[in-house]
Structure 1
Amino acid sequence: MTIMALFLILFSFLAHRHCCVLSFAQNPNPDLSALLSFKRSCSSDHNSSLSSWNPTTDPCNDTWRGVTCRHGHVDRLILEGLSLACNVSPLTHLPFLSVLSLKNNSFTGPIIGLDLATWRPHLKLLYLSHNQFNGPFPHAILSLRHLRRLDLGGNHLSGMIPPQIGYLLPNLFTLRLENNLFYGEIPTSIAKMAYLSDLNLSYNQLEGKIPPNLFSFTQSSFLGNRELCGDPIKHNCSNTTITSDPAEISSRKRNKCVGILVITAASAGLVAILVLATAALLCFKKKRKKGQLGNVNQGTEKKIRETETGEVMMFFEGCEEFTMEELMRGSAEMLGRGVVGTTYRVVMEGRGDEKGVVVKRVRRERRREEEATERKVLQQIGEWRHPNVAGLRAYHSLADELLLVFDFVPNGSLFDILHGNRGPGRIPISWSTRLKLALDAARGLTYLHSASKSNNISHQHFTSSNILVDTNFNALISDFSLLSLTSQPLLHSSQNSDVYSFGVVLLEILTGRSTEDGMVDLPKWVQTVVQEEWTSEVFDVELWGCKDMVDEMVALLQIAFLCVSQEPKDRPKMAVVCKMIEEIRDRGSRSRSRSSQSPSLTFESSPCPSDDTPTLTSS
C-alpha cells in the first residue's frame, strides 16, 4: 500500500510537470525571445553564468539567474561581475524593465544608437558602469523620464556631457560619469536636478568653472579634471594658465579667463534683460496712450475700408499704407505655390522700393458667421513682432480669398539654401551659419508658441521652406497658423507637432538631405545610420572638414532626436529646445575663443569654412 501511494505521488508530480512544460511551450513568456537573443549574442561567458537560462522553462520561475519578474514580465535584470561580453540591444525589447544592472562586465561598443523607447514607461535604475562602452553620451537615455539613478562610470565614453541633461532628467538621485573621457564644461543644467544627492564627474577631461549651484558637492565629485576650477576643488579659476603648445590646447583647450567670461556674459545678459524690460514697458505705455487719444482699433491696426460686399483692408505696424489699385497695378512675379496659397513678389510703381512686397493669395470659402473669427485670427497674427518672425504687414479680405502682405526676403528659404544648386560652383554653408539659422528658427517658433493666446495654436505646416533667410542670414518663421485660414486646415495639428517638424528641420541642417522628394523618411534614416555605425556619414558632406565642431553637431543631433520622438509627451517644449541650442552655441563660442588665443591656431588651418568665409551671395 505504501509503495502504491509513493508511485501515485510520483506519477502525479511528473504529470503536473509535463502539463506545465506543455503549457509553457504553447504560451511562452513574452520576454523569452529577448532574453534568449541576449544570451546568444554573448561572445564571452566562460563561466557559463547564463546556463540556467533554459529555453524550455519560463524566465519567471525563479530559476533564471539575475531575472526577477512581476506580473509575468521581467521587472529586474541584475547581471553583475560575470565577465559577460554580449550585445545589449536585445534587452531594449523588455518593455516592463524597471531595473537593469550590468556592472563589472566586459560589454563593448557604442551605446548611442540604442532605441530605448520601450524602457521609457518603467525604467528607474540603470547601472552600466565598469565595462568598455565607448562613443558619445547615449542621447536616448535623456528620454527616460522616470530614471532615478544613472551610473555610466568606468567606461570609455567621450565627447561632451549633453547640456540639456538636467532639463530632461530632472528627477535623478544619482549621476555617475566618472572615469570616462568626457570633456568640455560641466552643464549648468545639472543644477536643475532637485533630488540629486550622488554626483561623480571625477577623472574625465572636463574644464572651466564648476557651476556655483554644484558647490555643495564634495571635492571627490570633481577630482582628476585638470582644467576644472572652483570652490569644491580649491582651484582658483583666475590662476588657470594657457599653454603655448597647440597640441595641448587642442586636447584640453585650456583657458585662464573662463570664469571672467562666464561672469561677464551673465552680467551682460542681466543688463540686456533690464534694458529690454524697460523698453517694453515704455513701448506699452506709449501704445496705450496712443490708443486712448487716437481711438486706434486694437493697438497698431488701422481700418482702411469695409464695404457692403465684405471687402476689408487692414494695415499693421511697420507697413506704409497703399491702395488696392496701387497693389494691383504693380509688376508681379510668381514665387511659388504652397499649401497656403500662391505667393507673388509685387513692386508697386512710384514708391522707390525696388524690393517690393510679398503677397500671398489664399483661396478659401468663408461663411458669413466666420468673418468675426477670421478677423480675430488675422488681428492676432498681425500683432506678432519678433526678429525671427516674418510679420504680417497688411491684408485685404474678400468673400472668397485673402491677400496677405509681407516684407520681401531676398535670400529665399532655408530649403533653398540647404538644397538648392548642389552642383559644381556651390559655396558650402559653414557650420556656424547652420547653427545660427537653427537657433534663429528655434527662437522664432518659441516666441510664436508663447505669444499665441491659445496653447492650441500651431504652425500646422512647419518645414524648411517656411523658414526665410534675410540678407544678414537671420532666419524668419513664415506662414505661422495661416493654414487655419484656408478651407482645409489641419485639425489634429498641435505645438507638439511643430516640435517634431522642427526636429526634422534640424536633421536637414545636419545631413543636407531633403524631405520633400518623398524618397526617404529622414528621421528613420538618420536613426538607422546612427544605430548601425556611428560615423560621420550622417552629416552633410559640406561639414566633413569641420572636425573641431563634431561635438556641437552631435549635440544638435541629440536635440533633433528628442524632437522627433514618436510619443508626443516625450518631446521637449520649444522653449527648452531653444535653451539647449543656445548652450551649444555658447559652449562652441567659448571653446573657439580659447583656441584662437594661441598664435599657432588660425582659421586658415581648418578646412572647414570659418565665420569669415562668405557662405552665400544675396540673390
Structure 2
Amino acid sequence: MGVREARLLRAPNPNIFFFIILLSCYFFMSSSFAGSDSDALLSFKDSLSNTRALSSWSPSTNPCKGNRGNWIGVLCFNGTVRGLQLENMGLKGTVDLNYLVSMENLKTISFMNNTFTGAMPDIKKLIWLRSVYLSYNHFSGEIPEEAFLGMRFLKKVLLTNNEFSGKIPLSLTALPRLTELRLDGNKFEGQIPDFHQPSLKSLNVSNNELNGPIPPSLSKMDSTSFLGNENLCGEPLGSCKPPKVSPSIPPSIPPVKVSGKKSVRNIVLIVVILVLVAVAFAAAFIISHLRRQQGLLHENKTPTLLMNDHNKYAASYGSPMQIKSPETHAHPRRSEQGKLFFLWEDRATFDLHDLLRATAEILGSGTFGASYKATILSDNVVVKRYKQMNNVGREDFHEHMRRLGSLTHPNLLPLVAYYYKREEKLLVSDFVENGSLAFHLHGNHNIDDPVLDWPTRLRIIKGVGKGLSSLYSTLPSLVAAHGHLKSSNVLLNESMEPLLNDYGLIPVINQDHAQHLMMAYKSPEFAKYGRITKKTDVWSYGILILEMLTGRFPENYLTQRHDPDADLVNWVNEMIKQKRTSEVFDSEMEGTRDSKGELVKLLKIGMSCCEEDVETRLDLNQAIEMIEEVDEGESD
C-alpha cells in the first residue's frame, strides 16, 4: 500500500463527516421539539383546573409514539403532536394559548363539552391552526374584530352554545379557506357581515340576537341557519319588509269661537265620537284575539314533542304522528330555549326545528315519560321526554349530561343530544332496531322472532356486566352508576349485543319520583334502611340474570304491589331447596342440552348477586369475574 492510499485511509471522508453532523442535528432537534411539546402541554395542563381526566399526561412518557398518542386527547403524526382533542373531560378554568405557541405542528384544537370560562382564547397566536372547536363551554364577552386575523389555514370554527356577545368579528370574513362556521346559541348582535369565501359550505348563526338583512352571499344557505333571530330578514327567511311609516298627524283644527249651547253641544258630540272610535278599536282587537286563539287551538290538535302542560299526546302505539312546532309569539329565554345540545361532534347534527318537523312514531310510555322514534336526515333516533328531572340546577344538569355524553363503551347506548327546559327535558339517542331484551324474553314470539337461546343469553349477561363495569370506572362518584337496570333498559343491537340504556340518571331525577319508580330504590337495602349502596346495581344485575335464565317476568319488583308468592328470588330459592333446579330454567330456551352444569353455575351466581345482606352479596367485579368463567358448553 502506497503513501497516497495510507493518507486516504487516515483522512476522514468529508461527506461522511457532514452526514454525521446532519444526523446529530436531526436527533437533537427531534428530541428538543418532543421535549418542547411535552413541556408545553404539561404547562398548559397546569394552567387548568379539574384535570383528573389528563392523568396520563406524565413527564416520564412522550406524548406521541409514531401516529399514536400516549397521552389521552393528544393526536399524533410521525411522532409529533398534530392535535388536541380534549372533549367531555370536565375541564375548567380559562384557556391560555400562550403555553402552546411553540407547538408549530399543532393543526387542530377541540375543547368542546367542558366548563371553560372567560374571554375568547387568543386564537391568532396559533396562526397555523386549521380547526378550532370551542362549542358547549361558558366562554363569554365580545370577540375582538381582529381575533382571526392572518389565519390563512383556518378551515373550521365552531363556537356553538357559549355566551359570546357583541358583533360577529369581521376577521372571520377574511379567512380564505373557511369551510364551516358555527356561531349558533350565543348572544351575538348587530348585522351579519358579508362572507364572500367560495369555500364556505356550512354556516349557522341561529339563536342569537342578530338583526337586519341577511347578506346576499349567504342567501343560498339553509333557512334553519338563521332561525331564532327575531329581527333578521332577507333570503332564505323571506324578503325584508319596508320600514313602517308613522301615520302623519292631522293638522290641528283651529278653535272655533262659539258660545253658549252650541259650545256644549260640540263638546258632547266630540266626546261621543271619541267613545265610538274607542269601542270600535276594542271590538276589533277582541275579534282578532279570539280568531288567533281559535287558530292556536286548532294548531295544537297536532301532536308535538315540545309542548306545555295543557297539551297531551293522543297517538296510539305505533301510529304515525307528524310533529310540529306550536305557533307562538313568545320569545323564550335567550340562553336555553330552542336548543339541542349535541354531545358527539362526528354526528350529523340537526336542530330543534328539524326534530319538531320530523315524522315520529310513539314507542310507548315508560316510568319517566313517553318515547318516540323520529327519522331525521335519514337517521332514526329515539326521543325520550322527562318531566321529573329537576333535582339539580341548569349548570349542574348540563355538566352531568356532558359526563354521560362522554361515555364510550360497546355495551352502553350513547347519549347523542339533549334539550333543557326547566319543566321538561328531552334525551336523544340512536334507535336500536332489535328492541329491548324484555321484548325478546316476554314478547309474542313467532318464527321470525325466535326465543333467545342459551349462548345468546350468556353473551348478553356478560355484555351487561362489561357495561356496568365501564359505568363504575367512569362514574366513580355515583353510588349506583346505573340505578335503573332492568330488561326493558337493555337494548339489543343487530349482533344481539346488549346496550345499557337509562343509566346515570339518579343525580338529576327528582328524588321522590326516583324512589317511587327506579329499580335501585326497590332493593332490599333501601326497603330496610332507606339507602342505596355500591352493591345496589349488583342486586338488579342478579334479578336480570334470574329473569333471563327462568324466563319469568320479575313483576313484584316492577310494580307497586308486593306478592311474596311472585317474588322471583324466593321462588328460585324454594326450587333449589326442593331439588327441582332443572325446572327453574326457561323451557323455551334452546341450546341447553349439554350445558346443565354451566346453567346451574350461572344460576348460583345470580342468587349470590341477590343476597339481601349487602355484606354477603357479591361485589360487581367478583360477579363479572365469576360470570366470565361460565362456558356455553356444547349446544344442540
TM-score normalised by L of structure 1: 0.46
- Rg: which structure is higher? 2
Q: Which has the higher helix share?
A: 1
